[in-house]
Amino acid sequence: MSVSYEYYKIFYYVAKYHSFNKAASMLYNSQPNITRAINNLESALNCRLFLRSHRGVTLTEEGEALFQYVQAAHRQIELGESMLESIHDLKLGNISIGISIGIAEGFIRETILPAIQSFHESYPKIRLRIINNSTPQLIADIEEDLLDIAIITSGSCQKKISEEFLLHSFRDIVVAGASYAFLCENPVSLQDIVKQPLISLWRQTETYDLYHKFFLANGLDFEPQVETATTSQLLAFTESNMGIAFISPKYATPSLEQKKIFRLELREELPLRTVAMIHSKKAKDSPTVTAFQNILQKRKNG
């Protein structure tokens, strides 16, 4: 049986107020239209739903039975509308944020975490889920709508993703432990670098792919002797004289100042890198995503 939901809505208001006129007023409709809709509903259901008199209308036995279900359905719809209103007003909901393992902890502490904290303080009812992963995996999760937002390194987005919101740009520096301090005496080339052990993030990361392509463009193979899971591990291995690494200046500064590592002057210019926020096209108009992006924008500009 196919009956217009509008008929059931009108039935609900007539039954609730025991009046065709009152139902018409509540629905911003006319009394003849309300009467016509009820007649059509009774015809479709092949039963009488109301008893009409000069005192108003009352439900028949069939009408009472139907009203129990229509009333329950109407309440569920009202709850759904209320929930959507709460989500739109950021009084309820969830947000999942992925952060690339290639992003320097200094930038995370200075920009990303304060933005997350500010968002949480402004919208305490929104549940947060934070994950760390490689940039390629975060992009894949965004494409599959497994994440609302991802903060990634470099600009390797695909067409399924909306435009990047740029947060930071930088070039890595070349660093090494005390055992390689002799390389600091004069500028070195990539040709000199490949003769030494190299340390990199593991090969399924955007960072590894970036340097693989960079070395290849300079006619060299990028073959790290040590691959790590995080930037903090990369720095720790460099401090332990395991080899030479490419790392963000912000991340390396404390260790450089403490002379745990040394900076090498490279003749070639390293590729420009970026940190950007991305989200799926599906999440573009989400009020939660928009609110977080606005807070992140303020942190960036501040």
Residue 237 to residue 126: CA distance in whole angstroms: 39
Residue 200 to residue 208: CA distance in whole angstroms: 7
Token pair, residue 224, equals 């790290």
Rounded to 5 degrees, φ, ψ at 258 are -90, 5
Rounded to 5 degrees, φ, ψ at 13 are -70, -35
Average pLDDT over residues 225-247: 93
The helix, strand and coil proportions of the chain, stated in percent and rounded to the nearest 5, come to: 50, 20, 30
Residue 156 has pLDDT above 50, yes or no: no
Residue 157 has pLDDT above 50, yes or no: no
pLDDT value, residue 200:
95
* All structural domains of the chain: 5-88 (1.10.10.10), 93-169+274-301 (3.40.190.10), 173-269 (3.40.190.10)
In angstroms, the Cα distances linking 123 to 81, 146, 198, 279 are 20, 22, 45, 20
What is the three-class DSSP state of 58?
A: strand
Residue 161 has pLDDT above 60, yes or no: no
Buried b (16+ CB within 10 A) or exposed e, 201-239: bbeebbbbbbbbebbeeeeeebebebbbeebebbbebbb
Residue 300 has pLDDT above 70, yes or no: yes
DSSP per-residue letters across 140-184? HHHHTTS-SEEEEESS---TTBPPPEEEEEEE-EEEE-GGGGGGG
pLDDT value, residue 235:
92
Average pLDDT, the chain: 87
Residue 164 to residue 142: CA distance in whole angstroms: 12
Buried b (16+ CB within 10 A) or exposed e, 272-288: ebebbbbbbeebeebeb
Average pLDDT over residues 20-44: 92
pLDDT value, residue 92:
66
In angstroms, the Cα distances linking 153 to 124, 129, 169, 276 are 28, 20, 9, 6
Average pLDDT over residues 222-238: 92
Strand partners, 228: 201
pLDDT in tens, 55-101: 779 999 999 999 999 999 888 887 777 767 666 667 668 889 999 98
Write the DSSP symbol of residue 218: T
What is the three-class DSSP state of 137?
A: helix
Rounded to 5 degrees, φ, ψ at 98 are -105, 140
For the CA atoms of 209, 210, 213, 217, the dihedral, rounded to the nearest 10 degrees, stands at -170
First to last CA, the chain: 61
- What residues have CB less than 8 Å from 90, skipping those under 6 apart? 122, 123, 125, 126, 287, 288, 291
Residue 266 to residue 181: CA distance in whole angstroms: 14
pTM of the model: 0.64
